Structure 1
């Protein structure tokens, strides 16, 4: 029999009657036409009923645009397998019930006018299990995308590997994984949509290897199903175990979407990653200032940068940018709400944006940990930098944090390693990076998002090695001396530009960005467009050389040590000194 690990339903289905269907989740009887209009989502409990492959294609693709790909015949029973019945008979029955040749349907289609390759699994065919033929077709879909330079969208629904094909089925995990690796190497977008259920060999291979991974609301996804977990290790499972929301909270998927929102999301993602044409002109240098603001007391700068009504990263993403699709999670442990990021468009150009997020109200700030990231926040940012480099997209970072979270749990999960890794990665990123300090920039937690080709600072923002209060507590022995510390460290835009750390200043409206958020967003947008336009077209080697030089000159001095043999005499032997 086919290996499936789908979770049990919470309520027995009531018997269906003519024209009515019982929801398998709540048992409510729903009029079938109403259920169809609602995309097979129960209007009573919002349970998403399972859809066959063809219904999925109709839901996602533009009308009449799907062209199915054909595959040459392949041996159907490689092991001549028989259990309680002949495997070939099971395959025939599955084909009859599902009206499909196999558990995946492959073809090309337009989604919102963008051509893509589709590979859609059908749970009705032996539980969507992956055997040799499924592996061949999924790999073939990736190969077709590679050949034609198209994005690949897969819709996954599977109980796991097909036991009737033994170890041959197992190795389809490696086969499909390498096919997705080739797409990534070629810089082609792959979007994996996880539906209910997605388990076993499919979840542990191509289903979770997409450039973007989206879970349909209510889907159950995991490696071992809940029954297997409980029967194997007798563990008590946490509430909502392996649900879509559980995955999102643990950083394992980028988004959770209702069925009705899947197509609009795909349309936006495909458009952002396949945008053609030249970006819009920068529209002049409005918003950037060559003259450096002076005369503002550093302590006033600190207070203004920390204002709770000052625009946040998400505020700017919804005002200074044209579109933004947020992507979540570090794909390993959690989704840190103190760091937000995703793919955005600005002036006809697609960019990856990453920034600290504080919030405005007390509740928002607590939920966002006051903009202080844990290691998983920096690892989410690292993943987004990789995404940008894979697709040749510029990076914009918005910096506004008191610093990295200093708690013991952050240390246990490698805070220092996470910060060091992202600084190193961004220093060698082969796409343009523009950073903007929009509020306070505290210590290495801020520097993690400041290693860039261009570093702008908003007029009333600052960047510091330590908070004024921390500096005062250490050197003045009292936090009350924070204003003195701020002045001694010369906090503010003027010092950053004069020292060569910042490359420009973004002017703010009178009273600060919080006094007129729309004007502040306009100024930020204009500055970003100018900087991106100036970096546009520079080849990666030129970018890396200039970035390296800029970083090496911070603080002045000679980077290469003078050899004892004299300037330039690197081949001279070092004298051995004996005691």
Structure 2
């Protein structure tokens, strides 16, 4: 690092300029500080001290610090080239702190938060016994007060000089975050440069939402250690925030200047709800005879129209606010599944859906809306978030089916779908499904187990595509129109079968002709459906969804519904 933690009040004889290690430009220190220590020419993020970072994040004069008198201890009487006690004394002298962690209470855009940050200037932000204890105390305070915990990390990992005592702090901090998860208390991570070793193997990656600064080096084993161990060339930008985001381990890479507002939005979305009262009726057609008669093949063609709104289109049009989250925390961020947090009619919800696109490039990028296993793992993670924080779940279904490929099978496509179906079936929060286009088999059903299941008028849901059915039964796809009729895959058919609860009207010309009107209809239908579910207890929601799904295919129930008509 070729800068200094010097404040911008340089006097005669002091360094006034620094050199950017990314673009090699020279930057006047006052200008660098005006840009929050981000290079104004190339956006390289210089390392920021903990005090300056906390000042940048928290509302002015809102903080209250605790346990500042606790200091690190030489529990092993450890000595290398210097006694550990001397190293601790030097760290205390340099930073004015007794340990690498500072924790306390604060506010961000007036949202209360418990904050704990690691200072890299104190022995590289390494984790010792007292470090872990301070982090644990912060987590316990968040649990006791039931307010979010914000963890800001810059750490080289566990402190060697404290041996297994340091290692045990990974378990101590992890179990505290586990208790917060069980209690539904939000945990946010901000990982900065660098975040390594014991930090990533515990508290720094366990948050409900994980943020990172651009270019931050984040990983378990350091790059040099990996190269020396496996003797292999490592990828470009290996172990950067961007690398982690591409591989599903990070929700958002957020520029420093946007961190405060991003954290504030996340805190606000997990705050107290004030749901608006819904006006009953008007958004949903509950009688299949109220739908216009359309040939099944025409419905299939309309559902596949590339200009129909996508899930991300609806996220921008139906909801008052939306923050997309990323990654399955296993190794992928499948672009065919998108999800995140939204505000809808005064309450926070989790939104999840298949994502296609409107151009060839977008369709290719999103794999034509056909998820890999990682997409279903990401979906399950979003479902868990809804469950943990008591948020309704809204899903948008639009996929020809799960991706049928060698890699998908190798990574357990069937199991991934099964686990998503199982998880959604056992949620104790309101769940509303909206089929907006194609509903292709199990790949669609993984997002389709709701307390309410709605379909746009010109959407379809089927066990197999009409072309696939025709090929299997007739030897070619030539009879796909006949197969489409026989599969009873339209909204009217599925309402008569008891599979779908209601249809959402589309404007003249279909959803593809008027995105805004279609979104308005979906919004009205969602408000009506969520209003119906809002008075139910978690146990009642679970029982209602179970009974709804259990009735499908029950001969007695089907006999009561009668045979599908209108064909």
Which band: TM-score by shorter chain? over 0.9
* Structure 1 counterpart of 2:352: 354
Q: Distance in 2 between matches of 1:558 and 1:241?
A: 59
CA contact (8 A) 1:79 1:165 kept: yes
Compared CA separation, residues 284 and 558, structure 1 to 2 (3 A): closer
Q: Which residue of 1 aligns with 2:7?
A: none
Q: Note if contact 1:139-1:175 (Cα within 8 Å) is conserved in structure 2.
A: yes
Q: Report the count of equivalent residues.
A: 547
- Which has the higher mean CA deviation after the structures are superposed, 219-228 or 267-276? 267-276
**Are 1:528 and 2:526 an aligned pair?**
yes
> Where do residues 99-178 of structure 1 align in structure 2 (5 Å cutoff)?
99-178=96-175
CA distance in 1, matches of 2:15, 2:171: 46
Q: Distance in 2 between matches of 1:529 and 1:517?
A: 18
Q: How many angstroms apart in 1 are the aligned matches of 2:320 and 2:364?
A: 28
Of 318, 341, 345, the match for 1:320: 318
Once the two structures are TM-superposed, the CA of residue 70 in structure 1 deviates from its matched residue by 2.2
Deviations 1:488-528 (A, max 9, x none): 11221110111100001111111111111111111101111
> After superposition, what is the alpha-carbon deviation per residue over 1:510-560, rounded to whole angstroms, capped at 9, x for unaligned?
11111111111111011111111110131121112111111111123269x
Match among 262, 267, 284 for residue 264 of structure 2: 267
Q: Residue 291 of structure 1 aligns with which residue?
A: 287
Q: Is residue 385 of structure 2 the alignment partner of residue 395 of structure 1? A: no
Q: What is the correspondence of 1:286-435 to structure 2 with a 5 Å cutoff?
A: 286-292=282-288, 293-435=291-433
Cα shift at 1:431 = 1.1
Aligned-partner Cα distance in 1 for 2:260–2:311 = 27
Q: Aligned-pair distance for 1:96?
A: 2.1
Q: Hey, what does 2:188 align to over in structure 1?
A: 191
Aligned residue for 1:487?
485
User: Corresponding residue for 2:562?
Assistant: none
Contact 1:53-1:104 within 8 A present in 2 as well: no
- Three-state SS of the structure 2 residue aligned to 1:171 is helix
Q: How many angstroms apart in 2 are the aligned matches of 1:482 and 1:17?
A: 79
Determine which of 455, 473, 498 is the counterpart of 1:475. 473
**3-state SS of the aligned residue for 2:189?**
strand
Contact 1:298 1:487 in 2 (8 A): yes
Number of the residue aligned with 2:517: 519
C-alpha RMSD of matched pairs (Å): 1.6
In structure 2, what is the equivalent of residue 463 of structure 1?
461
C-alpha change, 1:75 and 1:155, in structure 2 (3 Å) is: closer
Secondary structure of 1:196's partner? strand
Structure 1: runs of 5 or more not aligned: 1-8, 560-579
> What is the CA–CA distance in structure 2 between the aligned matches of 1:517 and 1:275, rounded to whole Å?
31
CA deviation map 1:127-159 (0-9, x unaligned): 000001110111010011011111000111001
Q: What is the TM-score normalised by the length of structure 2?
A: 0.94
Q: TM-score, normalised by structure 1?
A: 0.92
Specify which of 244, 253, 277 is matched with residue 281 of structure 1: 277
User: Does the 8 Å CA contact 2:315/2:322 hold for their aligned counterparts?
Assistant: yes
Q: For 1:398 and 1:32, how far apart are their aligned partners in 2? A: 49
Q: Match of 1:568?
A: none
SS at match of 2:507: coil
Q: Partners in 2 of 1:462 and 1:134 — Cα distance?
A: 56
Change (3 A) 1:251 1:150: same
Quote the Cα distance in structure 1 between the aligned partners of 2:112 and 2:410.
45
Q: Distance in 1 between matches of 2:220 and 2:262?
A: 26
Shift of 1:99: 2.8
Which residue of structure 1 aligns with residue 447 of structure 2?
449
Is the Cα–Cα contact under 8 Å of residues 216 and 240 in structure 2 kept in the other structure?
Answer: yes
The question of whether the paired residues in 2 share the 8 Å contact of 1:71 and 1:137 is answered with no
Given that residues 283 and 528 in structure 2 are in contact (C-alpha distance below 8 angstroms), is that contact kept between their aligned partners in structure 1?
Answer: no
Structure 1 ranges of 4+ moved more than 6 A: none
In structure 2, runs of 5+ residues without a counterpart are: 5-12, 558-567
Shift of 1:71: 5.0
Retained in 1: the 8 A contact 2:72–2:128? no
Partner-residue secondary structure (3-state), 2:245: helix
The 8 Å contact of residues 301 and 491 in structure 1, kept in 2 or not, is answered as: no
Instruction: Judge conservation of contact 2:70–2:99 (CA < 8 Å) in 1.
Output: no
CA spacing shift, 1:349–1:12, aligned 2, 3 Å: closer
Paired with 1:19 and 1:239, the residues of 2 have a C-alpha distance of 33
